[in-house]
Amino acid sequence: MIIGIDDTDSPRGMCTTYLASVLVDELEVYGKVIKPPILARLNPTVPFKTRGNGAVAIKIETDDIENIKQYVIDRVSEMADLEDKRTNPGIVFVDDDVASRLESFYRYAVSTLLSIDDAGKTISDLGVDSYAFKNGRGLIGALAAVGAFCTLTNSNVDHTFELIAYRPKNRWGSKRQIDEPSVWDADALTYPLVWDTVDHTSGDIIFAPHSPDPVLYGIRGDTTDSIFEAFGMIKSEDCERLTLFLTNQGTDAHYITASIDEMIEYRSYILDGVVTSPPRTIQGGHVFFKLDNTLECAAFEPTKSFRDVIRSLIVGDRVRVFGGFKDGTLNLEKIEILSLIEEVMRNPVCTCGKRMKSMGKGQGFRCKACGNRQIDRERVKIKRLVECGLYEVVPSARRHITRPLIRERGGGRKVHVTR
């Protein structure tokens, strides 16, 4: 049986992965818990979420099904932040022979917008045993997490790991005590197999949250050996428990390849097009440009140095954009520059050194200083401040699910990694 759980946390505390960590240990008395559990990051653009939109799944081999179900329901009831109106937990208990039929549900949950009714219909159609608290929105993520278990345990599917250290309850909400130099040392030794532990652009450690939840920190990477090597180097306050998760973080599982006219809000896309407006910076430091005269693309202030790449674009550059679509704007997470304009047409320069002015359409150009005339504009080679290739936002602005460029494998594309 696979147990899926979601939506037990809130912005003011708790964490669904912490609940999973507790259950992984406590369910051992009922049978064999298959490790690692699953942490599935779902559609990052949905309006209904608390923080990272992560759901969890735990597989257990047991004959004591009914007692396990009641125990899990009771533990979720005890631990979830049910007082918060945005917290609506859901639990599903899925037989192994049914679980694989939820892989498509997972793919929809990670890339589109599903409703509580969609979850209810799936539960009914597949005969899944479930339990909902309040409006039960967490049933969506719970079903998706089970589908993610089947998907991510397929060796051909991209996946990563995260080791999460949790704090004793008496320290929740207090300042985390982490020795920052030890974190930088761990990054220097284990990068690139361990990534997004620190942000070199800002000089900050970024693997520890600032919210009042149970997480002390999380170490993400490609291999479990490198993750545990980093863990062994990091000095911090004592942790209450430690759990390794198999996850879809850092895999780009959320993107849909589409054209502009196919876009729907609250989804994430990969689109090709031509820059058709000069990038402009507005108050707050956000940078915008138009793609194909239609789509507004934005690099918001938290993306920091990534905005310099966007500011360097000019009309006519061909690009591939990656990001979440909301309120008519694509929030850029990555950009691939496919081709750059290398030459521009400009008014000719007179022999006296002054640039000529147009005399009107089809009438050529004239120098106001000395009166010389010329018919055609000049083709001028320009120096570009960027080159072709993939660029990414800084680590501190990266979504959990977005693949860092250091993880790009093959394809022959040039990547410009931001650490």
Q: Quote the mean pLDDT of the chain.
A: 94
**pLDDT recorded at residue 363:** 82
**Span 219-237, average pLDDT:** 98
Residues 48 and 187 in one domain: no
| Phi, psi of 128, deg, nearest 5 | -80, 135
* String of DSSP letters for 221-260: ES-HHHHHHHHHH--BS--SEEEEEEE-TTS-TTEEE--G
Crossing angle for the helix pair 103-111 and 138-152, to the nearest 10 degrees? 120
Residues 100 and 11 in one domain: yes
Is there a domain that residue 106 lies in? yes
Is there a domain that residue 77 lies in? yes
Domain finish residue from 124, 152, 180: 152
Is there a domain that residue 185 lies in? yes
Is there a domain that residue 9 lies in? yes
Is there a domain that residue 86 lies in? yes
Residues 59 and 134 in one domain: yes
Is there a domain that residue 407 lies in? no
R_g (Cα) of the chain, nearest Å: 26
d(CA 343, CA 326): 35
Q: Which of 95, 82, 60 is nearest to 132 (CA)?
A: 82
Domain finish residue from 136, 152, 168: 152
| CATH number for 145 | 3.30.70.2200
| Phi, psi of 97, deg, nearest 5 | -75, -10
Look at residue 411 and tell me whether its pLDDT is greater than 90: no
Is there a domain that residue 109 lies in? yes
Residues 317 and 204 in one domain: no
Range of the domain at 372: 343-381
Is there a domain that residue 403 lies in? no
Residues 107 and 66 in one domain: yes
Give 394 or 50, the one with higher predicted confidence.
394
**pLDDT recorded at residue 31:** 96
| CATH number for 179 | 3.90.600.20
Domain finish residue from 117, 152, 187: 152
Residues 174 and 185 in one domain: yes
Residue 261: both structure tokens together: 């006219």
Look at residue 50 and tell me whether its pLDDT is greater than 70: no
Look at residue 269 and tell me whether its pLDDT is greater than 70: yes
Residues 334 and 376 in one domain: no
d(CA 1, CA 14): 25
Q: What percent of the chain has pLDDT over 90?
A: 83
d(CA 405, CA 419): 10
| CATH number for 291 | 2.40.50.1010
**Span 295-306, average pLDDT:** 97
Residues 373 and 391 in one domain: no
Residues 293 and 264 in one domain: yes
d(CA 243, CA 27): 14
Residue type, 29: V
Q: Please list, in sequence order, all residues whose beta carbon lies within 8 angstroms of the beta carbon of residue 242, skipping any fewer than 6 positions away.
A: 163, 164, 165, 166, 231
Residues 143 and 173 in one domain: no
**pLDDT recorded at residue 51:** 63
Task: Write the pLDDT tens digit of every residue in 325-379.
Answer: 999 999 999 999 999 999 887 888 888 888 888 888 888 888 888 888 887 788 8
| Phi, psi of 349, deg, nearest 5 | -95, 130
Residues 265 and 293 in one domain: yes
pTM of the model: 0.92
d(CA 239, CA 172): 11
Task: Write the pLDDT tens digit of every residue in 78-93.
Answer: 999 899 988 999 999 9
d(CA 407, CA 401): 12
Total domains in the fold of the chain: 4
Q: Please list, in sequence order, all residues whose beta carbon lies within 8 angstroms of the beta carbon of residue 170, skipping any fewer than 6 positions away.
A: none
**pLDDT recorded at residue 72:** 98
Residues 72 and 200 in one domain: no
| Phi, psi of 238, deg, nearest 5 | -65, 145
